[in-house]
C-alpha cells in the first residue's frame, strides 16, 4: 500500500459522523423511499400502507458476553431491540429475519436455546420469523436481526416533528439496564479471581432483569392509539436519554429543557448507582439499553395522557436558541451532554 495514503481512525469520527460520512453521497431514487437513513427505521411507501424496516447487529464481546448472558435471553433481546425501533416509528412489527455467524464452539443445543428466546419474542410481539442466513465465524457469535413493520402513512412518527412548547415524555424508568450490566461485569471479575464463589444477586433482580431481558413498549404504543394521542416525535432509548433527546432536537431543529425531577429512576437503580459511586441521573442520561420510548406531545394532548400509567412528563421542547439543557433537582440549569455508547 502507498505509504502516503491517508489513514483516519474511525474513533476520530464517532458512530453517527461515520455513518453520515459513508452514506451522504447516496441519493434515493425511488419515490417509495420516504425515509431512508437517520431515523429508528426506514419507511417505504407502498400505498395504502407503509412498510417500516430496521436492522441491528449484535457482536459477541461487544454487545453481549456469554459469561453471564443466557442464550435464551440473548435471543429474546436481539428481537426486542429491533421491534423497539419499529414501535418508535409508531408502527406495528410483523416480520423478522435472523442471521447468525457462529464458530464451532457452539453446539446445536446452545443454538436451540438462542432460538427458544427468539421464538418467545416472536410470540410476545406477534412477529413471524421469515428468513435469515447462517454462516460460520472464525471466533464467537454475531447476530443480525431485521424487523419489518407496517403503518398507515398518517400514523408514522419521526424524530423530526417536535415543536417548541411540546412536552417531553418518557415511558419508564431509566438507568437500570446500565447498572445491571455493571453488576454482571463486577460478578464476572469476582468469579475470575475466586472461582466457585456463587454471587447472591437476589437484591438486584430488577436491574439485572432490565439488562438481560428488556421489553419493547408495545403496550404504550397501543395505549396511545387507544386514547387518540399521536406523538409529534419519537425515538427509542437505546443509547441513553441525553443522546436520544439530542437526536430529536437536532432533527426537529429545537432546543429542550429536561427536568431531572421528571426522569424516572427505579429505587433499586438509585441504590446501586450510589454503591458504584455514580450519580443516578448520569446513569439515566448516559446509560442506555432500557428500550423505553422518548416522545413529545402537543400540550393540548397532555390531558389525554393523565390516566395512562407509566408515562412521565420530563420537560419541554424549546426554541433552538435555548440549546438542550437539564434542570437539576436543586434548580440549577446545565448544558446537557450526550455520551452515548462508544463501541469502537
Nearest distance in Å: CB 260, ligand ADP: 24
Q: Burial-class residue 173 by CB neighbours within 10 Å (0-12, 13-18, 19+).
A: buried
How many residues make contact with ligand ADP (CB under 6 A)? Answer: 9
Binding site for Mg ion (CB under 5 A): 40, 85, 236
- 37 binding partner (options ligand ADP, Mg ion, none; Cβ < 5 to 8 Å by kind): ligand ADP
Backbone φ and ψ of 149, nearest 5°:
-130, -175
* Bridge partners for 150 per DSSP: 51, 92
- 187 binding partner (options Mg ion, ligand ADP, none; Cβ < 5 to 8 Å by kind): none
Nearest distance in Å: CB 139, ligand ADP: 22
- The angle at the Cα of 181, spanning 267 to 56, to the nearest 5 degrees, equals 115
Nearest distance in Å: CB 338, Mg ion: 14
Nearest distance in Å: CB 147, ligand ADP: 10
- 268 binding partner (options ligand ADP, Mg ion, none; Cβ < 5 to 8 Å by kind): none
Q: What is the DSSP letter of 38?
A: T
Cβ-based nearer residue to Mg ion, 40 or 292: 40
User: Which of 37, 130, 227, 333 is the binder for ligand ADP (CB under 6 A)?
Assistant: 37
Contacting ligand ADP within 11-30 (CB under 6 A): 19, 23
Nearest distance in Å: CB 21, ligand ADP: 10
Nearest distance in Å: CB 56, ligand ADP: 6
C-alpha cell at 189: 471479575
Cβ-based nearer residue to Mg ion, 40 or 289: 40
Cβ-based nearer residue to ligand ADP, 56 or 259: 56
Residue 238 in the binding site for ligand ADP (CB under 6 A): yes
- 130 binding partner (options Mg ion, ligand ADP, none; Cβ < 5 to 8 Å by kind): none
**Are the beta carbons of 245 and 336 closer than 8 angstroms?**
yes
Cβ-based nearer residue to ligand ADP, 92 or 144: 144
Q: Considering only 33-41, 65-73, 154-162, 284-292, which stretch makes contact with ligand ADP by CB under 6 A?
A: 33-41
- The set of residues, in sequence order, having a beta carbon less than 8 Å from that of 182 and lying 6+ positions away, is 272, 276
- The set of residues, in sequence order, having a beta carbon less than 8 Å from that of 107 and lying 6+ positions away, is none
Q: Where are the alpha helices (DSSP H) in the chain?
A: 15-23, 71-87, 108-125, 176-193, 205-212, 218-227, 241-252, 267-275, 280-286, 302-305
β 128-136/92-102 pair status: parallel
CA 28 to chain centre: 26
- 286 binding partner (options ligand ADP, Mg ion, none; Cβ < 5 to 8 Å by kind): none
- 23 binding partner (options Mg ion, ligand ADP, none; Cβ < 5 to 8 Å by kind): ligand ADP
- The angle at the Cα of 211, spanning 339 to 114, to the nearest 5 degrees, equals 120
Cβ-based nearer residue to ligand ADP, 60 or 85: 85
Q: Is 336 helix (H, G, I), strand (E, B) or coil?
A: coil
Point out the residue whose Cβ comes nearest to Mg ion: 40
Cβ-based nearer residue to Mg ion, 166 or 236: 236
Contacting ligand ADP within 76-135 (CB under 6 A): 85
Nearest distance in Å: CB 172, ligand ADP: 18
Cα–Cα dist 273/293, whole Å? 22
C-alpha cell at 341: 455508547
β 92-102/141-152 pair status: antiparallel
Contacts to ligand ADP by CB under 6 A:
19, 23, 37-40, 56, 85, 238
Amino acid at each position: 500500500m502507498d505509504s502516503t495514503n491517508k489513514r483516519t481512525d474511525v474513533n476520530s469520527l464517532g458512530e453517527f459522523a461515520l455513518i453520515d460520512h459513508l452514506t451522504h453521497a447516496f441519493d434515493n431514487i425511488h419515490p417509495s423511499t420516504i425515509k431512508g437513513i437517520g431515523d429508528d427505521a426506514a419507511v417505504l411507501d407502498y400505498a395504502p400502507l407503509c412498510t417500516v424496516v430496521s436492522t441491528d447487529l449484535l457482536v459477541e464481546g461487544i454487545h453481549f458476553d456469554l459469561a453471564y448472558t443466557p442464550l435464551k435471553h440473548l435471543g429474546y433481546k436481539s428481537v426486542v431491540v429491533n421491534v423497539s425501533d419499529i414501535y418508535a416509528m409508531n408502527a406495528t412489527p410483523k416480520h423478522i429475519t435472523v442471521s447468525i455467524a457462529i464458530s464451532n464452539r457452539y453446539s446445536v443445543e446452545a443454538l436451540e436455546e438462542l432460538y427458544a428466546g427468539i421464538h418467545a419474542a416472536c410470540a410476545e410481539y406477534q412477529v413471524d420469523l421469515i428468513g435469515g442466513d447462517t454462516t460460520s465465524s472464525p471466533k464467537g457469535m454475531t447476530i443480525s436481526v431485521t424487523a419489518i413493520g407496517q403503518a398507515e402513512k398518517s400514523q408514522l412518527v419521526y424524530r423530526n416533528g417536535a415543536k417548541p412548547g411540546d412536552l417531553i415524555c418518557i415511558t419508564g424508568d431509566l438507568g437500570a439496564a446500565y447498572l445491571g450490566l455493571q453488576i454482571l461485569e463486577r460478578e464476572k471479575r469476582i468469579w475470575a479471581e475466586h472461582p466457585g464463589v456463587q454471587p447472591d444477586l437476589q437484591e438486584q433482580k430488577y436491574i439485572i432483569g432490565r439488562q438481560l431481558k428488556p421489553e419493547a413498549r408495545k403496550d404504550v404504543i397501543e395505549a396511545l392509539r387507544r386514547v387518540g394521542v399521536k406523538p409529534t416525535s419519537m425515538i427509542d432509548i437505546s443509547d441513553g436519554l441525553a443522546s436520544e433527546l439530542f437526536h430529536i432536537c437536532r432533527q426537529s431543529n429545537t432546543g429542550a429543557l429536561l427536568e431531572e425531577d421528571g426522569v424516572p429512576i427505579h429505587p433499586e437503580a438509585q441504590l446501586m448507582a450510589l454503591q458504584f459511586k455514580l450519580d443516578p441521573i448520569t446513569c439515566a442520561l448516559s446509560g442506555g439499553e432500557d428500550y423505553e420510548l422518548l416522545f413529545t406531545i402537543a400540550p393540548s394532548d397532555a390531558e389525554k395522557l393523565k390516566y395512562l400509567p407509566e408515562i412521565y412528563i420530563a420537560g419541554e421542547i424549546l426554541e433552538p436558541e435555548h440549546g438542550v439543557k437539564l434542570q437539576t433537582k436543586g434548580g440549577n440549569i446545565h448544558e446537557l451532554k450526550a455520551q452515548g455508547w462508544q463501541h469502537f
